[in-house]
Every structure is written in C-alpha cells, then in structure tokens.
Structure 1
Amino acid sequence: MTVDDSKKELIHLKGITKSYRNGDQELEVLKGIDLSVHEGEFLAIMGPSGSGKSTLMNIIGLLDRPTAGSYDLSGQAVESLSDAKLAHVRNMEIGFVFQQFFLLSKLDALQNVELPLIYAGVPASKRKKMAKNYLEKVELTERMKHLPSELSGGQKQRVAIARALVNDPSIVLADEPTGALDTKTGNQIMELLTELNREGRTIIMVTHEPEIAAYAKRQIVIRDGEITQDSLTPDQG
C-alpha cells in the first residue's frame, strides 16, 4: 500500500499503545500502532467489536491519551500537551461526526453549527454567516431554524457534518457516520463525505460495514489491537 508522499503528512503515530487497569489485570487495547495519514486521504478503520478501532479513533481525535508512543498532528507533538492546549488543538484541527449526531436539543440547526465557532471566539455576525454557508453546502438552507426533533436522521447527520466542517479543520473524523441511518440515507451521507474528500478534505472513518468502507480510498483493519491490513480500496488505484 502506498500513499501520496508529496502531500503533507497530517498524522504520524509511532508505537502507540493503550492499556487500562481492571483490578489486578492490565488490559492492552492497542499494541504498538504505527500509522501515517496524509492530506486529502479518505481512510476507513475497520475491525471487529473490541478490536481497538474506537480507541484508536479517540486517540487520533485527542479525546484520549495513549499509554505510550508518539503522536504528531500537523507536525506538532501532541502527547505532552496540557488538557487545555489539547482542547484548543482539537477544536481547530479536527471536526467530529458521530453515529448519534450529538446535537443540542434546544438549539436549532444553525445554532448547533455555530457551537465550534463560539468556542473559537468568532464574533456573532461572522459565525452566523459561516454556519449558514456550511448548512447551504449540505443542502439544509431551508431547515436551519428547525430543532433536532424536527429533523430526520439524515438531516441531523448533515447538520453534524456542517458543524464538523465550520472551523475548516485539517481532519474530519467520522465514527460510524451511517450507523443510525437507513441504507438509502446512509448512502447519501457517504456520497456527501466522498464529495467533501474530492474537494480536498481529509477524512478518517470508523465503520464495521464493508460496503461503507468501500467509499474510502484506503482501508486499515485492526484486530486485537494491531493493524493487520493496510491497503488501497479496489477501484481506488
């Protein structure tokens, strides 16, 4: 498996391990993960339940810290950063799309998309314009004043994608982005992510569904905390 080394390396993991204490026992979830991801890639992380794929995603997304190993994000060593600095880097560099959407129920679609901009200190007038632009991009202009309870599952996920993009992050992390959707709606969401990747977005996605992973350009498989396969998706070169 080869990647385009002419593109900027966004993620470099070396010897990443993650262990948890369970009484007297130590459970090793990740066992020396080495992984590089370059700008513009569309990577699917696959593996059975308990393989460590979600733990790896949490570490990549700066939601969890590794037990050992090094992690460079856009050339910055992140494993030694303070929690406050990690939160800042996470807000500026990474956009998240989750299976359960995680929209705030009392905020409308526009306000949900604005949230990362509020945390980033963007003035109100500018952030409203930016949020509207991204809702337009995901074809939800007419629904921006609707609460999550008034949106379909696919519309909620489109709001979540707009929210993930609004800070112009280096990387979009999608954790089972179609898991709560029917097949047709899930395919529509994947077409949207594919189009965003064509525009140059770097996307890393966790999924257990081969037909969803097939949208990605590259697939890695994790079993028992180790990468056992790293290959280009068929028809992707």
Structure 2
Amino acid sequence: MTDGKKVLIQLDNIVKSYRNGDQELQVLKGIDLTVEEGEFLAIMGPSGSGKSTLMNIIGLLDRPTSGDYYLNGTHVSELNDKELAKVRNQEIGFVFQQFFLLSKLSAWQNVEIPLIYAGLGVSKRRQLAQQFLEKVELSERMNHLPSELSGGQKQRVAIARALVNNPFIILADEPTGALDTKTGEQIMELLTELNREGKTIIMVTHEPEIADYARRKIVIRDGEITKDTTESVRIE
C-alpha cells in the first residue's frame, strides 16, 4: 500500500501453532499483512484455512506463537492482559455472526455494555446508546429485548454496540451468516456506509457476494495468504 494513509495494522511473519500431543499443528504460517486507515478488507478462505484464527489475533482475542503485531503503532506483544482488554474495549469494535446480545437486557442496555467497562457515568452511557441506536435506525426498538427483535435488528444492535466507543476498527466475523439474503444486504449497506464515514472494516466471510462489498480481498489457504487484491467499490 503506497497512498500515504496511516497504517493501523501491521503483521510481520505471524505464526500460530497448537500442540496436539506430540504433534504441532501450524494454523498460520508466516502471515504478512498491512491494513491502512479507512480500508474495507474481506478475509476469505475455505473452512480450516486459518481465517478465523487470523481474525482472533487481529482482534486481540488470541496471541500469535511468533511474529510481530503492531496495532495503531503499538507492539501488541508488549501489552499485558489489562492493557489488551483496554485496547479491545476502546480501539476495536466486534460484530459476530451470532450477535452475542444479553437476552435479559434491552437493546440500549446491550449497547451500553462497552461504556460500562470504559467507566462512563449512567447519563452519558444512556445518551450514547440512544445516539448509536438512532444511527442504525433502531431508536423505536431501543427498549425491546433481543427476543422481540428480528435477526437483522439484533445485528444492528450489535453494530451499534461495536460503534459506541468510537473504535478505530470494526471486526465483523461472518456478519450476515445468520441472516436471510435481503437482511444481509441491508447490514452490508450499513457497514459500507460506516466505511465511507471513515471506519476501517475487516470482515471474515465465505460468501463471494458479501466479499464484493469490500474494496480489498485476501484469500487464505492452509495458513498462508494466497491472494491479495484491491478492486473498485461495488456499485448497485
């Protein structure tokens, strides 16, 4: 990448191995990847290719066996668990296939969870939760429980929760995997709009038509990046 934008993520020779008895399984085999501010990147690959492991390392949910990871200029291996948790809370927003909403909390209460961990007061938390539910066009459903929401509405709540701390990066792991085609398209249009507003989005998907929303695609096979392409933005 040579357009002079700020580098948010730099992975140098990232290896991830697991022990299985006396066997060592190498899931990632020397990954080199740079992601700049404002990119929309899709990570693709067959089941077992290592794409979810890579996403977990980028999201600080797992540590590499070896290699260097710089996130927004910080060498991640130098951070302790408390510091990692703070970075996850403030710099990364997570969107998952299964939403992971707390069933006994309303939409706005789910959205405010990252703000509780960040130490914000009650009134400020409520204000921000309302603001971001309005952003994803769910203000009229803010007092509803997850059981009272459709799949698409649940994912919008999850996106509002991911955005509420104003992170640098949104990580979306199969964000449309539990949705029907039309609802999935609506969620992807929302993510595309967030990218236009400047959010850096990294998405794991196995669906080519979903990956087409991203400007850049990488393909992982057997723990290695085999393809890295930048294309024009999808136009409907």
- Please state which band the TM-score falls in when normalised by the shorter chain: over 0.9
Residue 115 of structure 2: aligned partner: 117
Query: C-alpha separation between the residues in 1 aligned to 2:13 and 2:82?
Result: 25
CA distance in 2, matches of 1:23, 1:150: 46
The residue that corresponds to 1:30 in the other structure is: 28
Q: Tell me whether 1:135 sits opposite 2:116 in the alignment.
A: no
RMSD: 0.9
Length-normalised TM-score, structure 1: 0.97
Q: Provide the secondary structure at the position in 2 that maps to 1:180.
A: coil
Partner Cα distance (2:35, 2:45) in 1: 18
Alignment map for 1:55-70 (pairs within 5 Å): 55-70=53-68
1-side partners of 2:227 and 2:32: how far apart?
12
Distance 1:203 1:229, change over 3 A: same
- Alpha-carbon shift at residue 5 of structure 1 (Å): 3.2
Once the 2 structures are TM-superposed, how far is the Cα of residue 180 of structure 1 from its aligned partner?
0.2
CA-CA distance at 1:4 after TM superposition: 5.3
Give the paired residue count: 234
1:220 aligned partner:
218
How far is 1:6 from its partner?
A: 1.9
Is it true that 1:155 corresponds to 2:153 in the alignment?
A: yes
CA contact (8 A) 1:4 1:38 kept: no
Other structure's SS at 1:16 match: strand
Question: Secondary structure in 2 aligned to 1:32?
Answer: strand
8 Å contact from structure 2 (residues 115, 165) kept in 1: yes
Q: 1:72 maps to which residue? A: 70
Q: Distance in 1 between matches of 2:224 and 2:122?
A: 45
Separation (CA, whole Å) in 2 of partners of 1:163 and 1:81: 24
Alignment identity in percent?
77
The runs of 5 or more residues in structure 1 that have no matched partner are: none
Moved more, 123-132 or 59-68: 123-132
1:207 alignment partner, one of 205, 208, 214: 205
Note the residue ranges of structure 2 that are not aligned, 5 or more in a row.
Answer: none
Q: Which amino acid letter does the alignment assign opposite residue 113 of structure 1?
A: V
2:128 aligned partner, one-letter code: M
Structure 2 counterpart of 1:107: 105
CA distance in 1, matches of 2:12, 2:78: 14
Task: Report the secondary structure of 1:48's partner residue.
Answer: coil
